[in-house]
Amino acid sequence: MQSGSEPTNHVVIALQGAFAEHQVMLKKLSLKQKLTVVLVRSEEDLSKCDALILPGGESTTIALLARLAGLLEPLREFTKKKPVWGTCAGAILLAQSVENTKKGGQEVLGGISISIARNGWGSQVESFEAALEVEGLRESDRPFHGVFIRAPVVLSLDPKPLDPPIHVVARLSIGLLPKSQTLVPEDEDDTDPRDARTIVALRQGRHLLTTFHPELTADHRIHEYFVMECVLGTPV
């Protein structure tokens, strides 16, 4: 938790992907506290930070670059202590286990106790946009425009007894789930609306995960939510 006068060094990891877009969104926030954005490419950059955003990009590339820059272990340590938000590829890195990997697998940081499938909807022609109800945002009755690009799918929530509880922040309607992945029955009365695969945003402790890309919209409410709720611990 930050004391009121101290600046919060907020961070975006800048190895590969849409980090500049997150930087732009963070700069748009109007906050009482001072926020500095650091693009992290080394352990030294990371040590300046109080919170981290893992951007969208290509998750195996980000993990490879993190390993080559000697950042993988420092990032795992960081994730144990400080708030981290993963978007899309960043969500994959933040999960505990990943399905749908090919040869060589996928290195993860393991900050959130879920299992996730990469690229859950199939190829790029299945990428889509959909309106979402997101809990806890300012003006929460106004839908948030979700941009899903080769997005991952949450497969299961696996919190261990001592882990902080997992809190679902947004779901997609079950009819939008990828048919190939989910085997959603034709008769939709039989489907469980609480199916983990409908979850597109969730929180565990001070970590946040979104399978879509708030940084590609003009709506900075989720960035505000992360900074206020997860980093500063003050409700929006």
Partner 1 sequence: MTHKDGGSSSLGTFGVKSGLAQMLKGGVIMDVVNVEQSDPHMIKAIVDAVTIPVMAKVRIGHFVEAQILQVIGIDYIDESEVLTPADEEHHINKHAFKVPFVCGARNLGEALRRISEGAAFIRTKGEAGTGNVVEAVRHQRSVMSEIRKASVMSEEELYAYAKDIQAPFHLLKETARLKRLPVVNFAAGGIATPADAALMMQLGCDGVFVGSGIFHSGDPATRAKAIVQAVTHFNNPKILAEVSENIGDAMVGLTITDNMKGGRLAARGW
Tell me the residue length of the chain: 236
Of 10, 49, 88, 207, which one is the catalytic site residue?
88
Q: Is 38 helix (H, G, I), strand (E, B) or coil?
A: strand
- Is position 213 annotated as part of the catalytic site? yes
Give me the least distance between CB of 118 and partner 1, in Å please.
6
- Is position 215 annotated as part of the catalytic site? yes
Shortest CA distance to 79 belongs to which of 56, 113, 102, 105? Answer: 113
Q: Is 126 among the residues that bind partner 1 (CB under 8 A)?
A: yes
* Binding string, residues 155-184; x marks residues near partner 1 by CB under 8 A: -----------------xxxxx--------
Establish whether 59 is an annotated binding residue.
yes
Give the whole-angstrom CA distance, residue 188 versus residue 42: 49
Q: Is 152 among the residues that bind partner 1 (CB under 8 A)?
A: no
Q: Is 130 among the residues that bind partner 1 (CB under 8 A)?
A: yes
Give the whole-angstrom CA distance, residue 21 versus residue 220: 11
Structure tokens at 100: 């749908």
Q: Is 71 helix (H, G, I), strand (E, B) or coil?
A: coil
Structure tokens at 184: 């959603």
Establish whether 58 is an annotated binding residue.
yes
* Residue of 11, 40, 54, 89 interacting with partner 1 (CB under 8 A): 89
- Is position 207 annotated as part of the catalytic site? no
Give the whole-angstrom CA distance, residue 128 versus residue 236: 28
Give the whole-angstrom CA distance, residue 8 versus residue 36: 7
Establish whether 113 is an annotated binding residue.
no
**Cβ–Cβ under 8 Å, residues 25 and 9:** no
Pick between residue 165 and residue 193 the one whose CB is nearest to partner 1: 193
154: Cβ–Cβ under 8 A, 6 or more apart, which residues? 114, 115, 116, 196, 197, 199, 200, 202, 211
Give me the least distance between CB of 155 and partner 1, in Å please.
16
* Residue of 37, 46, 51, 88 interacting with partner 1 (CB under 8 A): 88
* Residue of 147, 157, 158, 182 interacting with partner 1 (CB under 8 A): 147
Shortest CA distance to 203 belongs to which of 86, 47, 65? Answer: 86
List residues forming the annotated binding site for L-glutamine.
Answer: 57-59, 118, 149-150
Contact residues for partner 1, defined by CB under 8 A: 14-21, 41, 56-58, 60-61, 64-65, 68-69, 88-89, 100-102, 118-119, 122-131, 147-150, 172-176, 188, 213, 216
Give catalytic residues, as residue numbers. 88, 213, 215
